[in-house]
Structure 1
């Protein structure tokens, strides 16, 4: 997409068209699938060694990609100093011709590279920067890339208005400065910033969401203020399809939360919500994948109500203290895969699971022996597969 290999097709986003191309390459055995998502789409892929070497050679010939990387950060700084000394002494014209690559990946200290070299140029479309140990990254880049990977404190300049994919790491936060001019209307995905509700340290997360009107995928960390809990306001990101939000702070038992109706994938860890609030999620009309992890909900009984989770295809429950699970006859009519992990207090599966004709498989990881016996007894009358881990539980 950054290289404009993917054409604009009416009714489809660049990302959807690119996925079609990837599927074609997989079908021709040029790309191999290494890992799939819970909904069956490709998550990780790789290419054969011969194809990789060919791509690297072509990238070098056409000034397509440059990687500056060293695992030993002490050696790295020495090497960078040598590079920068020769680069920084060039005239502006010579410096411009030196930075002709269209994709640049940097693993460095900010002071030893970015501040001195200021990587820029109209041909640079994709920039990946991995900071070794500095926690502030406030120098604006003179580029409008399609992809950007950052660590530390993030202050995006207005020149990044074309940005489509942003990844920040190490619990980076959005700084208060540098956002007064920017509206990222093209941004499609963002991961994994810390949304901190503290005016002295970071920008208001609700204001961040208002700057991202066309966001489709969000992975983030929600950090409470000292006095109360918060849930990001998501009304303005109505196109959001995938959400993974990790919570650090108080229980959400008294806190309002909401999700966009267009949501298809939802992952919630550590929210400690009461099961009475699950209907807010169950009523989402397009939800296909749900993962409730690490005390996402608190309580011993989950009662699924009529008409909930009508489109859900994949459900994962991990490290919950649920003891009793009740399902009405018309819940989960589209469920294909069910995964339970470390739900050791659950003794019995609801018998209504046997009435779900779409169910293909059930996985149990470190669950109670009685729950294993329960799902096996249901399976005997149905056609779905049961996988039990560790194996000695399946006896």
Structure 2
């Protein structure tokens, strides 16, 4: 069997993934015979590799094969958002709710996670990144595996890839009118060129997805008028994903109500400013992604009339300065009601200041909640006490952490991710204690808060913390970490700690740290106690470490350094051409520095 791999690591991994599930000699002999029956490819040097990849594919369970083929939507060498992949699986009916052995209903996310882990174990998919709780967040395909994936999508008529060039000409491999799924790679073309490409084709189209090939941020408006025609022409659509149309603006057309079979609608990254009330007609809609960019989207208060399972709201920026630049508002000015969504499992970035909390709490099916709160402290309490929510992520104003709120955080069994933001001026002074945070917290971040003391002696005691982010929140010079600090931390981010000299780390601290990001901090040296081989991302004209990376031609890249010393003082001086940029970059930090220093004097 190894002879067929021709020494290629990918083939060996794929073969190992197949054999790992075979427990008897007969099964191994069967695998050996089956390799010969899957001859693929034209190049002799890779024929054995394709044999193994084909065998790996056909060894997959029948419901895992379309999961793998959905990887063909995405560009070569891209890091694929696993959540996006799950959305496609759910919309396609591959993932649906089931019951486990004791009769308890499993969530869609749990089932999708199982499928993803099986594909990884089989060697079909490569893991790029995991989130704080250990779940896979991004993945990719090896070049040869992607070639095989695209070959199978064509062979099984699973997916049609179309490219629209700058001359608005459409091209596709083996163009067929019977394709049910189409992914369009588009640049800055307008909607009419998209319609022209689809004209007279794809009468059975079920899925339409856009992927942007343009690297420029085009500010020209692409109106939604062409979408009216699209919704009239393709009424059988189940998936409509506009994430690639980054300049799509205006009111989304009411004709979307014609798509009564639609299961997944994605407006992520667009600048749609209003969703029509006709959205209530989409009774089959399971997934709605409203994560628009740099606009406030107006929503009709009819979402409770849809059978949603996953609902994504726009990411809200808590800072008062940017509060009105991105988010959502309800059409009639009332609070959003979600009381009829009996199958709602996941809600992302919901604003607790704008939703009817009682209606959201009634959703006993909800397992995953990500929420922001700046004003109504009482809205937090029932979610912190909830026994049905398994994964709670909160982004809150630091001003809410007064009185009993601190103790409520520590008693929550579901709180996994907590981001604390000052939200408004003046900067909120915050004193933290270990008993403020729950033991199960895996990710913690502070933004623009004024931490009164060195936070490390407190935070290092959180037993399960894996991700820590400190952004312009501490004006001190020293950070002290003991030899038992941060036993589980894998990622540390320091930004805007412009007095920091991070040296006092005892040997044995940060035993599992894998990645460290440093921005706008005057660090002279990485602590010697940190173990060699940590991936360090360092990018700032104000940062001596970044100067060193820039001199080595590695600015803004992940580099591995066992022990990095600073460049010479002469090297660290900014070049003349960099001076205007330096002045612009330092202004906000000088203002905050003045605030910290002034506070210390008082």
Asked if TM exceeds 0.5, the reply is yes
> Does structure 1 conserve the Cα–Cα contact (< 8 Å) formed by 2:477 and 2:500?
yes
- Rounded Cα–Cα distance in structure 1 between residues aligned with 2:349 and 2:98: 27
Range with greater deviation from structure 2 (1-10 or 276-285): 1-10
Matches within 5 A, 1:1-395: 2=90, 3=93, 4-5=95-96, 15=109, 17-25=111-119, 36-37=129-130, 42-45=136-139, 50=150, 51=153, 54-55=158-159, 57-58=179-180, 60-61=205-206, 65-67=238-240, 71-73=247-249, 80-81=253-254, 99-105=260-266, 110=274, 113=276, 115-121=277-283, 123-129=284-290, 133-135=296-298, 137-151=300-314, 152-153=328-329, 155-168=336-349, 172-175=351-354, 177=356, 179=358, 182-191=361-370, 193-198=371-376, 204-211=379-386, 213-218=388-393, 220-222=395-397, 224=399, 233-235=408-410, 237-249=412-424, 250-254=427-431, 258-292=436-470, 294-320=471-497, 321-344=499-522, 346-353=523-530, 356=531, 360-366=534-540, 367-368=543-544, 385=562
Q: Once superposed, what is the RMSD of the aligned Cα atoms?
A: 4.5
Name the structure, 1 or 2, with higher relative contact order (CA <8 Å, separation 6+).
1
Q: Which runs of 5+ in 2 are unaligned?
A: 1-85, 161-178, 182-204, 208-235, 315-327, 330-334, 550-559, 573-602
Q: Deviations over 1:315-343 (max 9, x none)?
A: 22222131243123342233333333321
Q: Deviations over 1:123-163 (max 9, x none)?
A: 43223346764445533422342211234246242222432
Larger Rg: 2
Q: Deviations over 1:263-309 (max 9, x none)?
A: 223333222213444333211111222222x2233311111135321
Q: Deviations over 1:177-203 (max 9, x none)?
A: 462573344434344x4312258xxx6
- Rounded Cα–Cα distance in structure 2 between residues aligned with 1:317 and 1:215: 29
Deviation at 1:248, TM superposition (A): 1.4
Structure 1 length as normaliser, TM-score? 0.68
> Does structure 2 conserve the Cα–Cα contact (< 8 Å) formed by 1:205 and 1:232?
no
> Does structure 2 conserve the Cα–Cα contact (< 8 Å) formed by 1:216 and 1:239?
yes
Deviation at 1:352, TM superposition (A): 2.9
Pair 105,339 (structure 1): closer, same or farther in 2 beyond 3 Å: closer
More strand by share: 1
> Does structure 2 conserve the Cα–Cα contact (< 8 Å) formed by 1:155 and 1:174?
no
More helix by share: 2
Query: SS of the counterpart of 2:340?
Result: helix
- Rounded Cα–Cα distance in structure 1 between residues aligned with 2:485 and 2:455: 12
- Rounded Cα–Cα distance in structure 2 between residues aligned with 1:141 and 1:300: 51
Structure 2 length as normaliser, TM-score? 0.48
Q: Which runs of 5+ in 1 are unaligned?
A: 88-97, 374-382
Q: Deviations over 1:368-395 (max 9, x none)?
A: 259969xxxxxxxxx96468999x87xx
